[in-house]
């Protein structure tokens, strides 16, 4: 596998002919359960859940796309750029119970999982080769779910993923002209208008964005400004309980519409990596604001936006939020 840069959009893609077979396999046992006989490369383990052998764990992905050893050695290929897929690829096991997905987990379990995520991001950002650490979760076969056990994945990469790069550039430009964080401005307008707010909980807000990419797209943000999720989580660990509860409740609401979804955490890039050609580190702590994005996969409608160059959402966020707010969920 190698990383290639599209010279037009300047985004990196990982490509090659040795893509692992991601088709769901019927395995006689689960490699992530506490009684697994498979030897996993354990990276970190938390044990804050009473009565559980462990609460959340990070292991090396069994079919890692990125590998930790070596240098990316960026090279030219005529007008093109390529580099080796140096990085980290981890599986975050959300809890020790095979059939307890995030939306059915206890708030303590989700809190432990979020704290593990914060610790792993902080640790990976200690490696100056990595520009960005992503955490994501794909649930459901059309969303590309890989494992049955409740898991998320984390990658550390030598480049910033495209969507995050767009956000960073836009947030910096907004800050340059207004001297305010665009995400903070979004939050205060959403609270004032109260047209797209799903729920407020502690310091957190769940909203449907003004311009959704898919119906029922939802974001969760802290109301207190902070660019880095891991710094927020590790400095204010008590808030992770509220975040966990809001995440659980938002997923429960969404699951009354569809079972499949993508979830991604957007945090600030690695400030240890000082890139010469990108100026976005100067005001990053003031202009960027971490958040979670949840994109439901609506099977019947999937085609209509997969092939569109312009996102098409046949349901407004003002209507979507009413269905999500009224959904019957656990307290
Ligand atoms: Zn399992
Ligand atoms: Zn902000
Ligand atoms: Zn984002």
Model confidence pLDDT, tens digit, residues 265-311: 999 999 877 665 555 578 899 999 999 999 999 866 555 555 567 78
Q: Which residues pair with 5 in a beta bridge?
A: 12, 81
Closest-CA residue to 156 (of 185, 181, 126): 126
Kindly tell me if the per-residue pLDDT of 246 is higher than 60.
yes
Those residues whose beta carbon sits under 5 angstroms from the ion ligand 3 are 266
Q: What is the mean predicted confidence (pLDDT) over 95-112?
A: 95
Closest-CA residue to 42 (of 29, 32, 30): 32
Kindly tell me if the per-residue pLDDT of 321 is higher than 90.
yes
Using the mean position of ligand 3's atoms as its centre, give its distance from the Cα of residue 227 in Å.
Answer: 11
Q: Looking at residue 37, what is its pLDDT?
A: 82
Please, how many CA atoms are within 13 Å of residue 110, restricted to the half-sphere of its CB? 20
Kindly tell me if the per-residue pLDDT of 233 is higher than 60.
yes
Residue 2: strand, helix, or coil: strand
Alpha carbons 225 and 223: distance in angstroms, whole number: 6
* Residues 168 and 285: beta-carbon distance below 8 Å: no
* Residues 70 and 2: beta-carbon distance below 8 Å: no
Using the mean position of ligand 1's atoms as its centre, give its distance from the Cα of residue 152 in Å.
Answer: 13
Alpha carbons 245 and 92: distance in angstroms, whole number: 19
Give the number of whichever ligand sits closest to the CA of residue 187. 2
Structure tokens at 12: 């990196």
Using the mean position of ligand 1's atoms as its centre, give its distance from the Cα of residue 161 in Å.
Answer: 30
Kindly tell me if the per-residue pLDDT of 26 is higher than 70.
no
Using the mean position of ligand 1's atoms as its centre, give its distance from the Cα of residue 139 in Å.
Answer: 15
Give the number of whichever ligand sits closest to the CA of residue 32. 1
Provide the pLDDT confidence category of residue 313 given band limits of 50, 70 and 90.
confident
Q: Which of 133-142, 152-161, 172-181, 275-284 has the lowest mean pLDDT?
A: 275-284
Using the mean position of ligand 3's atoms as its centre, give its distance from the Cα of residue 35 in Å.
Answer: 37
Give the number of whichever ligand sits closest to the CA of residue 98. 1
Model confidence pLDDT, tens digit, residues 186-225: 999 999 999 999 999 999 999 999 999 999 999 999 999 9
Alpha carbons 183 and 3: distance in angstroms, whole number: 31
Q: What is the mean predicted confidence (pLDDT) over 149-153?
A: 97
Q: What is the mean predicted confidence (pLDDT) over 110-116?
A: 97
Closest-CA residue to 10 (of 270, 213, 288, 277): 277
Using the mean position of ligand 1's atoms as its centre, give its distance from the Cα of residue 151 in Å.
Answer: 9
Using the mean position of ligand 3's atoms as its centre, give its distance from the Cα of residue 128 in Å.
Answer: 23
Q: Looking at residue 310, what is its pLDDT?
A: 77
Kindly tell me if the per-residue pLDDT of 129 is higher than 70.
yes
Q: Looking at residue 23, what is its pLDDT?
A: 54
Give the number of whichever ligand sits closest to the CA of residue 151. 1
């Amino acid at each position: 596998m190698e990383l290639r840069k599209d010279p037009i959009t300047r985004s990196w893609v990982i490509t090659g002919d040795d893509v692992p077979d991601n088709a769901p396999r019927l395995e006689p046992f689960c490699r992530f359960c506490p009684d697994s006989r498979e030897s996993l490369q354990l990276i970190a383990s938390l044990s804050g859940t009473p009565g559980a052998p462990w609460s959340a764990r990070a292991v090396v992905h069994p079919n890692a796309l990125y590998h930790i050893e070596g240098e990316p050695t960026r090279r030219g290929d005529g007008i093109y750029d390529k580099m080796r897929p140096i990085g980290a690829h981890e599986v975050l096991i959300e809890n020790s119970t095979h059939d307890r997905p995030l939306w059915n987990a206890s708030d303590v379990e989700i809190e432990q999982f979020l704290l593990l995520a914060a610790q792993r991001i902080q640790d990976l950002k200690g490696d100056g080769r990595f520009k960005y650490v992503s955490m994501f979760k794909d649930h459901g076969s059309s969303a590309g779910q890989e494992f049955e056990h409740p898991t998320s994945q984390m990658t550390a990469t030598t480049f910033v993923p495209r969507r995050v790069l767009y956000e960073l550039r836009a947030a910096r430009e907004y800050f340059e002209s207004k001297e305010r964080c665009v995400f903070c401005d979004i939050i205060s307008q959403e609270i004032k208008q109260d047209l797209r707010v799903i729920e407020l909980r502690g310091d957190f807000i769940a909203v449907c964005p003004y311009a959704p990419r898919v119906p029922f797209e939802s974001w969760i943000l802290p109301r207190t400004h902070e660019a880095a999720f891991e710094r927020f989580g590790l400095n204010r660990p008590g808030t992770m309980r509220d975040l966990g509860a809001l995440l659980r409740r938002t997923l429960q609401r969404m699951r009354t519409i569809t079972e499949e979804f993508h979830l991604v955490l957007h945090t600030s890039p690695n400030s240890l990596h000082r890139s010469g050609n990108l100026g976005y580190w100067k005001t990053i702590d003031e202009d960027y604001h971490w958040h979670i994005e949840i994109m439901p996969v609506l099977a019947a409608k999937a085609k209509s936006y997969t092939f569109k160059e312009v996102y098409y959402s046949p349901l407004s966020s003002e209507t979507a939020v009413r269905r999500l707010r009224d959904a019957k969920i656990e307290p």
